[in-house]
Amino acid sequence: MSDRIPPFDELPELTLSLRSFGSRRHASPNESLASDDEQERFFAPLLAGRRSAAHGMSRPQVVAAFDARRMTATIDATVRSFAAERFAKRTPGLRAFEAELFEMLEPLHDSLQRLRDLADSVPTGPESPDQYQRWTVWLAQLRAVFRIADASWPQLRRALDAWPRLAVAKSRWRRNQAGDDNR
């Protein structure tokens, strides 16, 4: 590599790897899908980072926009809320379901941890060939985070579909009861 560093123009496209976001192609017609809002909530930290990074004027600002610690915390809180929406006060079921969901997300957690480690190594001073090299490694890891999140969603969605949210389950039960009463 030459000592010449390409200028920072903008963040490369990242959302193309989010093939399952907004897609129902893996669903059967009769399947009770995890709601669109659950999908949006799961991908929200990545998309928020992307929106924030779009305003970045330098590589360090873009790195800061994708704070892996914040994204991990937000994803974890979202997953806990998914479980709570299905099990509420049924503590053993809640813990078991949370554990199942977090196990599915281990690759994403590992990828985010790697992104965090790499972000710490990207210097914020004047640009140098070393800084540019670290940027390209960090950017490759960011792309991996997006791909892994995308790959995680279908399995997570299937687990969520297996346990409908309590409010949804109760309303279905009420509709079924009303249907039985009308017969």
Structural domains of the chain, count: 1
pLDDT tens-digit readout, 55-70: 888 888 889 999 999 9
What are the residue ranges of helices labelled H in the chain?
36-53, 59-65, 68-87, 91-104, 106-121, 129-162, 166-181
Is 7 part of a structural domain of the chain?
A: no
pLDDT tens-digit readout, 124-137: 766 777 778 888 89
Q: Which residue has the tokens 């390409």?
A: 6
Is 153 part of a structural domain of the chain?
A: yes
Is 126 part of a structural domain of the chain?
A: yes
Q: What is the pLDDT of residue 18?
A: 57
Tokens, residue 175 = 């509709």
Is 45 part of a structural domain of the chain?
A: yes
Beta carbons of 131 and 122 less than 8 angstroms apart: yes
Most confident of 16-25, 30-39, 56-65, 174-183: 56-65
Q: How confident is the model at residue 28 (pLDDT cuts 50, 70, 90)?
A: very low
